[in-house]
Structure 1
Amino acid sequence: MDVDFEYQYQHTSTIAMGGRDKSFILAHCSEIEQDNQVPCFFHGSIIHSFVASKCLSTLGKTVRSHFAISPDQRINMRDPIVSVGNGQLHFEAFSSCNSVYARIDVLQTGIDGEFIQSGCTNVDFNDATIRAFNTVGRSDKLIVGVGSNELKVITSRAETTEKKVSLPDRWIKGLGNVQVYLSQMELAFKLNKIEALQLFKGLPKSAVKPEYFLSKSGNSYTFSAVAKPNSLKIGGIHRLNLIENLLLHVDSVSFYKHEDQQSTAVVLDFKDIQMLFLLSESVYRGFSGESKHIENLLVQLPEEWLLSINNYFKTNEVFQPTLVSIEHDIQLGTMATMQASLSSMGLLGYDLWSNNYFYRKLPFKLSRLKRCNPRLQNAVKLVDDDAVLLLQHDKNGIKAEVKGSANLSHIVVGKGNDLQCTCTWFTNNRTNRGLCKHILAVKMKLGEV
C-alpha cells in the first residue's frame, strides 16, 4: 500500500552555468519538520565531476526504469533519497518496479565542500536536472548543493513549486530488506575495466526470461544461460544494461553472491565514488515483499529503547550491532530484534566495501513496523482469534493446525527452526522471502522467539 506524503519543495532544483562551473542546487524536502527548516545540508564540489554526473544520470534512469509494470504505472516515479553526513554523500533509489536498488556513495576523499548539517532527505530530480547531468564534461567543475545557501536568490530564479508525490511503504520495506541481503553477501568475481567491457558485450539487450549465469573460464568471464561450477546466478540479467554506459570510467567491477542466490549485487568502483546495484531474483520480485527480518519482529521492544538508539546515531554513522550491544549492555537476542525494528523503519543501510551498517536519519515512525509487515499482523490476528491448534509439541517435533478463511486449514510441521507449512506461500517461496503467517503464528503460540 502506498501512503501519500506531500512533498512541498519550496523551489525546483536549479542549474547555474558559469564557464566550466556547473552548480546543481537540489531542492529538498523531508518528513522531519526540523530538517525542512534547514536551507542547506551540503554545499561543495565533487572532485571527479564527470564520473559523478554519469552516476547521477544513471540513478535518475534507474528510478524511471520499469521492468515488470505496465506503462501507466510509470507516472509513480520517485525522487532519490540523499543522506548527508560523516563526510560522505549517499544517493539512493529503487526502480519503479522495486526490483533494482541503486546507491551512489561519494566518499570523503572525493568531496571538497562544507557539511552544514547531517540528515536524510528527498531531492527533486526533475527532467531538466537529469538532462544537465549529461552535459557535464571532463574538465567541468560540478558543484552540488543539497538545499541552497541563498534560498532567496534561488527562489527568485524559479517559481515556487509545490510538487506532490507519494512516499510509498514499499520504499521503506525495500530499504529494510536490501540491507539484509547485502549483509549476507560475499565477493564472487572482481573484474578490471577491460574484463568488464568484454563481458558486457555478451549482455542481452532486450528482456529475457531465463536465468543467466556469470562464470570464469581461464582469464575470461562470460554470461551464459547454462550453469557451471562456481557460477553466479543472475535473474533478469537485462537489468544490467543500466550500468553499461559507466563501464568506460570504472577502475573495477565487483559481483557479489548471496548465500542462497536470491539476489545479486554489482559494485562499480571509481576510487572516490562507488555505485552499487542490487538485483532481486527476478523482475517480478520486488524488494518490498521479502520480509527477510520478519521473524526477529515477533518480540516488541519498548518504544523508548528504539527512540534512544535513533537519537544516538547520526546520518551515515557506522552502526555495529555487536559493539552497540556491548557498550549499552544489550543482550544479543534483544539486539537482533532492535536491529530488525530499525531496519523495518528504513533506518539502516549496509556498505559492502567496509562490511558495516550505516544509519539513516529517516522519520522515527513505529507505525511503520506494523504497516510495513502485514504478514506479521496477520499472524498476530491468527493467535488472537485462537486459530492455532497445537496437535504435537514434544522432543519429536511440532505439528499444528492453523485455521484460515473459508473453513480452510493449514498444517505446520517440523522440528526446531525447520518448520514447513502446507499453504501456497510456503510452497512457492519456502523461507526465501521470510516465514509465512501460519509458521509465524505457531511460533508466537509456542513463545519461540
Structure 2
Amino acid sequence: MTTDLLLAPPERATEAPAIFDGLLDPGVQAAQALLVLGRIARTRFYLPPNMVRRMIAESDPVFSADGQTLRAESFSPCCGVHARLDVQPSGRLSSGCTNVDLGEATRAALAKVVGTEPLHLTVRGDGIRLRTLDGAESEDRVPLPSRWVAGFAEIAAITATATRRADLGQTEARTFLRRLPTTGTMAWAVPSGRSLRLTARGGPEAIPATGLHRLRVVEPMIRFIQGLSVYAAPGGESASWVLQLARARLSVTLSPAPARGFSGEGGWLTALSAGLDAPELVSGQSGHDLVTGAWFARPLPSGGTPAYARLTKARALVEAGAVRALPAGGYEIAHGESLQRVRLDPAGCTCSWWAEHQERRGPCSHLLAARLSAGQA
C-alpha cells in the first residue's frame, strides 16, 4: 500500500462532514504522541485513600479544530495531568470537535507506525478513522466525563496568566527529561546554565515542579524533541511543559500536587461571582494557547457547564439571610451549626477551607457570600 492509497477516500462512507482529513507528518511522531495522550487518560497519578484502584480510562483524546490547527487533548483519570497536541497538518481542515476512546486495536495500529511510514487521520463529529500501511481502525464518539469539562475550564484559567519562564535547546531538553525523578517530590526547577536543575528551595526564578515524576509520561517523545519551553504564572503553583516537535507541539500541564485535580481548582469563581458572562470559558468551550497567547474554540460535543458548588452555596447563603455585616467591620455567616467570620480586605475566613488553601484554589463559599452581600464580588 502506498501513501497515495492512504490519501484516497475512506472505504466506509459517512454523512458527518470531516473536521479533518489528511496526513499527520511525521507519522511515527504523531502516532507516538497520540499513544502518550491515551496513556495519560489511562494513568491515575494519585490514588485517594481507601479507593480501590481501577485502571479504567474515562476517555481518550478530545480532537478539535478551528480551521487552522488540529488539536488532541486528554486528562489523567485523577484530572491532575493535562496534555494537548497542537498540529499543523497536511489535509482538509475545518472546525469542530469530537471525543473518542483509543481502543486496544487502535493503539496497536499506532504502535506499528515506524520510520517514514505515513499516518492518515479522518476526524468527524461522530468519531475518527486512522489508516496506516497495515490497515484501518475506527473509533466512535463516547460521552465526555463531566470532570473533563471542568478541567478544560480550569486549564484555561491557569494558563491565561502564565508567561514563558525557561527555554531549553534540543540537547538540554532531552537530557533534562531523561533525568526526571521517578517518585513524587516537593521541588522547584531553577535555571542552571542552559538547562534547569531541581531543588527543594524556591526563589524568584523558581518554576513549580512538585510531582514532576508525572512528566515522565512523555518519555516516548524524547527522540522527537527539538526544544522545551516552560510556562508558569507569577506566584502560581502549576507549570506547563511545552515540547517543541516537527510541525507540532505537545504541552503538558501538571496540577500543583498529585492529590489535586484541575477540576476542583475554582479559577473562575471570583470572576463568576463578579458577574462574568462568558459561558464558553466556564464550560470548556474555549481554550488558551500558551505559545501564541490566543484563544481557540473547542465546541465540545457533550458535557455542560460545571456546577461550581462553592458559588451555588454562596448565593444560597445570601438568599437565606445568613450573611450579617459586623459593626466593627467584616461579616458573620451563620448556617446551621456553622458560624464563620469573614474579612474582605485583606481577604480571610475562619473556615477550614481557608486555613488549608486560602485563595490558591479559589475563594471559599463564605468569602464569596460576603463579597456578594457587599456588592464587591
Percent sequence identity over aligned pairs: 29
Q: Secondary structure at the match of 2:230?
A: strand
How big is the shift at 1:442? 0.9
1:50-61 equivalence runs, <5 A: 50-61=28-39
Q: Secondary structure at the match of 1:146?
A: strand
Q: Deviations along 1:161-196, whole A, 9 cap, x unmatched?
A: 988x65332111111110111111111111112102
1:212-361 equivalence runs, <5 A: 212-227=187-202, 230-298=205-273, 337-339=276-278, 341-361=279-299
Contact 1:202–1:222 (CA<8 Å) still a contact in 2?
A: no
Contact 1:280–1:286 (CA<8 Å) still a contact in 2?
A: yes
Q: Deviations along 1:236-255, whole A, 9 cap, x unmatched?
A: 11101011221221111111
Contact 1:21–1:143 (CA<8 Å) still a contact in 2?
A: no
Aligned to 2:63: 82
1:192-203 equivalence runs, <5 A: 192-203=169-180
Aligned to 1:440: 368
Q: Deviations along 1:79-125, whole A, 9 cap, x unmatched?
A: 32110232221101101110001000002xxx22113x421111231
Aligned to 2:24: 46
Show structure 1 runs of 5+ residues with no match.
1-17, 28-35, 301-336
Q: Give the aligned residue type for 1:419.
A: A
Aligned to 1:410: 340
TM-score w.r.t. length of structure 2: 0.87
Q: 1:223 to 1:140 in 2, by over 3 A?
A: same
Q: 1:183 to 1:199 in 2, by over 3 A?
A: same
- In structure 1, distance between residues paired with 2:2 and 2:214: 37
Q: Report the structure, 1 or 2, having the larger helix content.
A: 1
Q: Give the aligned residue type for 1:269.
A: Q
How big is the shift at 1:338? 2.6
Q: 1:120 to 1:102 in 2, by over 3 A?
A: same
Correspondence for 1:62 among 40, 62, 67: 40
TM-score w.r.t. length of structure 1: 0.74
- In structure 2, distance between residues paired with 1:24 and 1:99: 38
Contact 1:170–1:372 (CA<8 Å) still a contact in 2?
A: no
Contact 2:173–2:225 (CA<8 Å) still a contact in 1?
A: no
Q: Give the aligned residue type for 1:54.
A: Q
- In structure 2, distance between residues paired with 1:411 and 1:146: 53
- In structure 1, distance between residues paired with 2:66 and 2:92: 10
Q: Secondary structure at the match of 1:52?
A: helix
Aligned to 2:97: 120
Greater CA deviation, 70-79 or 81-90?
A: 70-79
Q: Give the aligned residue type for 2:40.
A: T
Aligned to 1:176: 153
Contact 1:267–1:277 (CA<8 Å) still a contact in 2?
A: yes
- In structure 1, distance between residues paired with 2:114 and 2:123: 21
- In structure 1, distance between residues paired with 2:4 and 2:361: 47
Greater CA deviation, 133-142 or 284-293?
A: 133-142
How big is the shift at 1:278? 0.4
Aligned length: 364
How big is the shift at 1:346? 0.9
Q: Give the aligned residue type for 1:431.
A: E
Q: Deviations along 1:340-368, whole A, 9 cap, x unmatched?
A: x3211111111011111112123598xx4
Aligned to 2:300: 362
Aligned to 1:8: none
Show structure 2 runs of 5+ residues with no match.
none
Contact 1:103–1:275 (CA<8 Å) still a contact in 2?
A: yes
Contact 1:342–1:348 (CA<8 Å) still a contact in 2?
A: yes
Contact 2:144–2:302 (CA<8 Å) still a contact in 1?
A: no
Q: Give the aligned residue type for 2:237.
A: Q
Greater CA deviation, 191-200 or 272-281?
A: 191-200
Q: Give the aligned residue type for 2:370.
A: V
- In structure 2, distance between residues paired with 1:131 and 1:342: 36
Is 1:190 the equivalent of 2:129? no
Q: Secondary structure at the match of 1:120?
A: strand
Contact 1:193–1:253 (CA<8 Å) still a contact in 2?
A: yes
Q: Give the aligned residue type for 1:442.
A: A
Q: 1:373 to 1:204 in 2, by over 3 A?
A: same
